[in-house]
Amino acid sequence: MICAPEYNGSIPPILSNFIAWLSISGDDFRNLFNGQPIAIATFSGGIGLELLTSLRIQLVHLGSQVLGRQLLSSYSKPIDTKTIEDIIQRLMQMKKLNT
């Protein structure tokens, strides 16, 4: 599960940099992402949707299975614990795809 704040309408530089470093580490970086189930979430001062969209595009490009349901929360939209429980349950049911 990846949870990050929206940063200037996109992925925070530190998270983007972390993913970039992972992509050049080891002999088979794609194994870190290919077929891997991932849920995405944000708590942001803004809307947060741009982060979730950008992150989904990047993770799918790297071969990950990104859960269809995502968690978007902000100061004006409090976290719904039922959504969190549902996302965790769905994520736990997913298995890494053999690629």
- Residue 23 above 80 pLDDT? no
Residue pointed to by tokens 């976290």: 79
Angstrom distance (rounded) from CA 79 to CA 83: 8
Angstrom distance (rounded) from CA 94 to CA 7: 29
Q: Looking at the whole model, is its pTM more than 0.85?
A: yes
Q: What CATH class is the domain 2-93?
A: alpha beta
User: Looking at residue 32, what is its pLDDT?
Assistant: 84
Give the domain ranges of the chain.
2-93
Q: At what angle do helices 49-61 and 13-23 cross, to 10 degrees?
A: 0
Task: Give residue-wise pLDDT tens across range 38-65.
Answer: 999 999 888 889 999 999 999 999 899 9
